[in-house]
Amino acid sequence: MMPRVLITGGAGFIGSHLADELLALGYRVRALDSLEPQVHGDAGRRPDYLSPDVELQLGDVRDPDAVASALDGADMVVHLAARVGVGQSMYQVGEYVGANDHGTAVLMQALVEKPVQRLVVASSMSVYGEGLYVDAEGRSVEVGPRSVEQMRAGRWEHEVAGREGVRPAATREDLRPTLASVYALSKYVQERLCLMIGETYAIPTVALRFWNCYGTRQALSNPYTGVLANFAARLLNGKPPLIFEDGHQRRDFVHVDDVVQSIRLALTVDGAAGGVFNVGSGVCRTVRDAAAALATAVGREDIEPEVTGRCRVGDIRHCYPDIGRARRVLGYEPRVPLEAGLTELADWLSRQIAVDRIEEMRRELACRGLSA
């Protein structure tokens, strides 16, 4: 009989796509999900997109009884449950630390008592803070956070005294983490807790650091979700996407199908245990370019993005991954180029209604002094 996989946060964006993939391969799938209103709306009902073959258990990962029940009979665990949002984490500190870190601790405590064959935890590119930078000779350069004064002056790039030709480069997993937000800190704690308990109790554990994931089923009305979802919500309402700073920040946008591929491989590749892997598309783009590509895909090239020239506390300038380790060890290979992924996304968006809450988010951050 094929293994039963428990997916925490399994009714969400990535979790539901992963469930589809695992079911198609013959796995049995159980999802533990609280159906958080910010993501799923106030109705609290099972999402229509979630396969009927998924055994959905309603419950919070912070609840030991719910976790113990969900683990009963599970052979593998994919831990996706987390609150997501850099800006929001800076004023909902208790909620983010509670959901992400205490929730992970509850899960780890349960796994101490009932180990599984494999544990995969979703980490994040946010743990790096700024990505890797090198000088003109190709030597690594450590850059700290940009000051608010610098950003208010519109000097967006890093200024490194005494080093010429400093530029961003693809970030490797061995770059020392720089935790610039409560969200980043909480994701790093999730990652470390899982790897620590996995090593101690002989549970093969893999941490995957996801870059900017996009695709169908993303929560369009959640202003703290991925940047492409935010742009889509604006475009669907005939409004320009809002771009912070000057829009030349470099990121990697990875399709949800490729993220699912990485999780599937992490569940099965023997050599992955104990490892940390970047998961991205392997192609970096500016935020402006991504916004333009999305506008083209949805047929709204007439709506130019609004470049605000403003910044948010915890924002980083450039960060994109070196995915060489995932390629070598997992056999991971991105398959969905951005243009093809956005074409699929545009088709799905044409049937969606999105409540645009971006201005609400901007006001919330501004009134708390979290934007400049």
- Answer positive or negative: Cα dihedral of 113, 93, 133, 215: positive
- Exactly one of 96, 183, 320, 332 is catalytic; name it: 183
CB 334 within 8 A of CB 326: no
Element housing 151 (H / E): helix 148-152
The amino acid occupying position 202 is A
Whose tokens are 């920040």? That residue is 249
According to DSSP, the residues that pair with 80 across neighbouring strands are none
| DSSP codes, 182-217 | HHHHHHHHHHHHHHHHHHHTT--EEEEEE-EEE-TT
Closest CA to 178 of 216, 200, 214, 145: 145
- Answer positive or negative: Cα dihedral of 313, 315, 317, 322: positive
CA distance 80 to 65: 18
CA distance 109 to 128: 27
CA distance 222 to 181: 19
What DSSP state is assigned to residue 7? Answer: E
**CA atoms within 13 A of residue 350's CA, in its CB half-sphere:** 9
Extract the tokens encoding 8. 């925490």
Active site residue 214: no
3-state SS, residue 312: strand
Please identify every residue annotated as catalytic.
183
